[in-house]
Amino acid sequence: MRSRAQSFWKVIGVAGALAALAAWPGISQAQLGLPGIPPLPGGGSSGTQTLTGQASAVTAVVLGTVTSLADSGTLVDAADPLGTGQPLGSIPGLLSAEALHAATMGWSDQVASEASLGNLSMTVAGIGITATTIISRALAVSGAAPTGLSNIEGLTIGGVSVSPTGLPNQAVSIAGLNVVLNEQVQSASGIVVNALHVTDPLGLTDVVIGAAKAGI
Amino acid sequence: MRRTIYMLFAIPLVLAGSLTSGPASAHFVPAPCDFITGGGWVIGDSAQFVNFGAHGGCKNGAFWGHVNVLDHAYNPPAHLRSTNITGYLMDPAFPNARDICGEGVVDGGAGSFTVRFRVRMEDNGEPGGSDRFGLRLDNGYDLSTRELGPPGPTGGGGNIQLHKPNPSTTGPSPAPTEAQMCGGLPTP
């Protein structure tokens, strides 16, 4: 169920960061380092539509080791939608979740990606994080601004209930943890949506719950 | 233990299954075919959480998808994992709904058994509270189709999305019958 692809993601991460740096000069270094989904490539001008899509229920970087749960893989063709799921998922010492699911699909004029899980129980730097349901969605339609949304229900951090505003990039800092709800990174060619992005203050743990990417 | 888990699923609901397992109405593969995706939770008949994550549809002349469901009425929770998708249907009475049929494994931790299943997912708009989910297994288990929300003891949460067709969403030709796709399991 669980795949480890440290080397692959390192390569992807470095390449993606460079691509993002060229595409989005305004975004921060922290955003470039999103572990969930590689950044989108810059918008093309070749006249042919390039589809990009991917979704994953969990992607965690702990001490440099990347672990993904329910990762759809990368969409390369509108004729080949991708999806995966698993009833239970866990990363020992970090988290457990149920009913994980991820899918990405393309059309000639759009890409849609979605990831979800339930009953999340996670501990980062000794701080407990729980949620009933987490869903992220990304939609890129040719000729229109890409859109994304996250559903986060029953979220607690350190035993404190946290209410999502629904707005993109809601930052929460509790007990030293940096948490972003409904994190959205947009470019001219698409969007990456991370429903819940948690990093510890020392940078040892970087977890994205519910990542969805769509670009065209 | 395997038998115990099976019976936990079967006994409480076998009567409900027998009362509702009459002839199924005419459901069919949508034309053109499409996709449905979603995740969330509903409250089961014992006030327990039932978590789900699923997607299904047609893909290049076949059916496609994954279905995962966890029912916390059992200890340890019983979970269904699809192993084969055998059908994707629409109900003309509920045009926003799609049924995913298939084969899967129910595992309660100590043992497992295979089942046929039929899931109903219904997209009734955003943010998802009016969306609906249900599950029926061929051992008599029946989680009748119910709304995802609003969050709380009488509801659930999550979101279901019905996606438009694309060039890949072609089903088998000729389209199989409902009985062939779902093995006689009616809609939950």
In this prediction, residue B47 carries a pLDDT of: 87
B66 to chain A nearest CA, in Å? Answer: 6
Query: Which carries the bigger pLDDT value, residue B116 or residue A76?
Result: B116
Chain centroid to Cα B128, Å, comes to 17
Provide the total of helices (H) and of strands (E) in chain A, helices listed first: 2, 14
**What's the gap in Å between the CA of A109 and the closest CA on chain B?**
10
- pLDDT the model gives residue A156: 95
The pLDDT of residue B155: 74
Helix (H, G, I), strand (E, B), or coil: what is residue B69?
strand
Q: What is the mean pLDDT of residues B79-108?
A: 95
Check pLDDT > 90 for residue A91: yes
Mean pLDDT value across residues B91-120: 92
pLDDT band for A79, please (50, 70, 90 cuts).
confident
Choose the closest CB to B53 out of A100, A151, A154: A100
Domain ranges of chain A: 2-215
Q: In a mutagenesis test of the A interface, which of B159, B160, B161, B170 is the best target, namely the one with the most A β-carbons within 10 Å?
A: B159
The upper half-sphere exposure of residue A113, i.e. CA atoms within 13 Å in the direction of its Cβ, equals 37
Question: Is the pLDDT at A47 greater than 60, yes or no?
Answer: no
Q: In whole angstroms, give the CA distance from residue B42 to residue B19.
A: 23
Average pLDDT over residues B140-162: 83
Alpha carbon distance B78, B12 (integer Å): 14
A25 upstream amide cis, omega within 30 of 0: no
Q: Using pLDDT thresholds of 50, 70 and 90, give the confidence band for residue A30.
A: very low
- Among the partner residues B59, B81, B161, nearest to A81 by beta-carbon distance: B59
Please report the pLDDT score of residue A8 as a whole number: 35
Whole-angstrom distance, CA of residue B117 vs CA of residue B100 = 8
Question: Which helix (H) or strand (E) segment is A79 a member of?
Answer: none
For residue B151, name the pLDDT band (cuts at 50, 70, 90): low
Residue A195 has pLDDT above 90, yes or no: yes
Place of tokens 């709304």: B147
User: In this predicted structure, what is the pLDDT of residue A179?
Assistant: 96
Q: How far is B164 from chain A (nearest CA, A)?
A: 9
Residue of A nearest to B81 (CA): A87
Does residue A6 surpass a pLDDT of 70?
A: no
Tokens matching residue B161 = 């999305």
Contact at CB, B166 and A87, closer than 8 angstroms: no
Residue found by looking up tokens 């691509």 in the block: A19
Q: pLDDT, tens digit, for every residue of A97-155? A: 999 999 999 988 899 999 999 999 999 999 999 999 999 999 999 888 999 999 999 99
pLDDT of the residue at A35: 62
pLDDT band of residue A50 (cuts 50, 70, 90) is confident
Q: Model-level pTM? A: 0.81
Q: Quick check: A98 contacting B, CB < 8 Å?
A: yes
Nearest of A133, A196, A170, A58 to residue B127 by alpha carbon: A133
Average pLDDT over residues A5-34: 35
pLDDT at B187 over 90: yes
Asked if pLDDT for residue A94 goes beyond 60, the answer is yes
State the pLDDT at residue B25: 55
Helix (H) or strand (E) holding A199: strand A190-199
pLDDT digits (tens, 9 = 90+) for A141-154: 988 899 999 999 99
B54 pLDDT more than 90: yes
CA nearest to B148 within chain A: A133
Strand ranges, E, within A109-169: 110-124, 127-141, 147-153, 156-157, 160-161
Give which of A58, A77, A75 is closest to A67, Cα–Cα: A58
Task: Please tell me the distance from the alpha carbon of residue B105 to that of residue B109, in angstroms, as a whole number.
Answer: 12
Contacts of A133 in chain B (CB under 8 A): 39-41, 51, 157-158
What integer best gives the mean pLDDT of chain A?
A: 82
Q: What distance in Å separates the CA atoms of residue A194 and residue A213, rounded to the nearest whole number?
A: 9
B161 CB neighbours in chain A (<8 A) are 112, 114, 137
Mapped onto helix, strand or coil, the DSSP state of residue B93 is: coil
Residue B109 confidence class, pLDDT cut points 50, 70, 90: low
Q: Does residue A172 carry a pLDDT above 70?
A: yes
Query: For chain B, give me the number of helices (H) and strands (E)?
Result: 2, 9
Residue A82: closest CA among chain B residues belongs to which residue? Answer: B65
CB atoms A151 and B157 under 8 Å: yes
Tell me what pLDDT residue B120 has.
Answer: 98
Rounded CA separation B78/A88 (Å):
11
* Residues in CB range of A95: below 8 A, 6 or more apart: A58, A60, A120, A121, A122, A123, A207
